[in-house]
A and B are shown apart, each in its own frame.
Chain A
Amino acid sequence: MILLEDVVKTYSSGAPALNGISLNIEAGEFVFIVGDSGSGKSTLIKLLLRELKPTSGRIIVNNTDVTKLRHGRVPKYRRNIGVVFQDFRLLKDRNVYENVAFAQRVISVPGRQIKKNVPQVLSTVGLAEKYKSRPRELSGGEQQRVALARAIINKPPILLADEPTGNLDPRNSWEIMKLLEEINKNGTTVLVVTHSREIVNAMHKRVITVKKGVIVSDQEEGEYIDED
């Protein structure tokens, strides 16, 4: 599903963010990417989203060679990847329903289909009752659930979560992780970048540890490895 071969990413400043990373993630896996700030985790997410191009190496996602992807093909490629961020990135001037429907509107899903899909996905994340609320009226956990609903409404085979619990209290963090696990059980490949030792250690999933742009550990049912 996701294959990286000797991927190097060097920014214009000259410092390497990723330094020869190779990994293979199969369809349906749940993988944690852990590592210190500046270790290259976010660069990895950006490369998978094709926000950045690698300096060298090859990235294959869903049988698509991302490194050779032409500009015009990027939107279609991204429709196969759902993404959530630490800061939720919701549209503050729109309610919950509109925020989720937005993901379907911009890819030209018919209006009738949107009306059917949005309530369904909102009930999956437990926010069916709050469809009229604005983001500012919701708790952090609820906002992240809206972001999650937006990420999965187009049924992407891959879901990337960049520090999804970074702004949440432990109770909300666990709720989000449970949702991610549920989404994964339904067949979606889930890649979670996190700092949360507690969550990583409790969930017994595959853990890839990145340090200074290099994978230092890749364990099935792994644990959070201290930086030192």
Chain B
Amino acid sequence: MRISTLGYTFKQGLKSIFRNKVFSLATIATISACIFLFGIFYSVMVNFQNIVHQAESGVAVTAFFDNDITDQRIQEIGQEISTRAEVSKVVYVSAEQAWNDFKDDYLGEYADSFGDDNPLADSANYEIYLSDVAMQDQLVDFLTSVQGIREVHKSANAANTLATANNLVSYVSLAIIFILFAVSIFLISNTVAIGISVRREEIAIMKLIGATDFVVRSPFLIEGIILGLIGAALPLVAIYFIYNKAIGYVMQEFAVLDSILAFLPVEQIFNTLVPIALILGVGIGFLGSAMTVRRHLRV
């Protein structure tokens, strides 16, 4: 296609948007609403995942050793565990350290009565931190099969709750986003269908003159893409300004949860959100118009 034809096609696409102002605005508004909600859900989802991830990093599986285990075997087990995909960090806790921690946490000054005795002499262990709590059972299965490990302690409830909550938020968000996108595609399809009916005569002339399918169809595809692009750009601007204010408000109102609520900066969210939203906007626009053009423009 020549540059002049491309320019002409682009101009026709733009003209069509202005010709059907009301429908174009309705389409932009719907896409904007969808992308806006998508942006909100995405921000919530990513932040929630971040919070869950932070919480996950505190969930550890503890592996206790056999009584007669050698130091060399403990090291070997440590190396074996470190290579596992489920593991983010392995910390060796000696029997002395375990006893000292216990004393500090629970006994305080009453610990003196134990003298030099260590009631936790058999409590040397590995604290194994997970990269993903959902993989805890898999790791526990592995640990119980390792020679030299006597006992494995896991925090089943914490892991399951976090994994379930994470999945729930992701599924609900995806379902809502899917419905909104289906609505957007339907609306953009309507707008383009009206554009086609308004330009039916022009299309008929184009066909008779010998315009190719591509030349006949491309103004409508361009119209859809432009509507999608505008519909995606507007909510991104809105989210950019709303995000920081919302985070500030939550942090102020729920200051007690400061240690739990680890929000990501808007720039980090936008690094992914902007390309996804623009691709979605353009994709919705293209898909909606392509479907309609295919149905109504059998050239």
Interface on A for B, CB 8 Å cutoff?
A: 49, 51, 72, 75-79, 83, 89, 91, 102-103, 105-108, 110-111, 114, 150, 154
Q: Mostly helix, strand, loop or mixed at chain B's interface?
A: helix
Interface size on B, residues (CB 8 A): 19
Q: A89-B204, A89-B205 are in contact. Are A107 and B210 (CB under 8 A)?
A: yes
Question: In chain B, residues 197-241, which have Cβ atoms closer than 8 Å to a Cβ of chain A?
Answer: 201-202, 204-213, 215-216
How far does the alpha carbon of A135 sit from the alpha carbon of B1 in the complex, in Å? 29
B295 part of interface (Cβ distance < 8 Å): no
Contacts of A154 in B (CB 8 A): 209-210
Q: What are 29 pairs between A and B in contact, CB < 8 Å?
A: A49-B208, A51-B208, A72-B213, A75-B207, A75-B210, A75-B211, A78-B208, A78-B210, A79-B210, A83-B208, A89-B205, A91-B201, A91-B202, A91-B205, A102-B205, A102-B206, A102-B209, A103-B209, A105-B4, A105-B5, A106-B5, A106-B209, A107-B211, A108-B1, A108-B4, A108-B215, A110-B2, A114-B4, A154-B209
Are B209 and A79 in contact, with the CB atoms below 8 A?
yes
Contacts of A110 in B (CB 8 A): 2, 4
Contacting residue for B8 out of A77, A79, A103, A105, CB 8 A:
A105
Contacts of A114 in B (CB 8 A): 4
How far does the alpha carbon of A150 sit from the alpha carbon of B201 in the complex, in Å? 15
Are B201 and A89 in contact, with the CB atoms below 8 A?
yes
How far does the alpha carbon of A78 sit from the alpha carbon of B205 in the complex, in Å? 11
Contacts of B209 in A (CB 8 A): 78-79, 102-103, 106-107, 150, 154
Contacts of A49 in B (CB 8 A): 208
Other 4 A-B pairs with CB < 8 A, given A78-B207, A89-B205: A49-B208, A75-B213, A83-B208, A106-B211
Contacts of A106 in B (CB 8 A): 5, 206, 209-211, 215-216
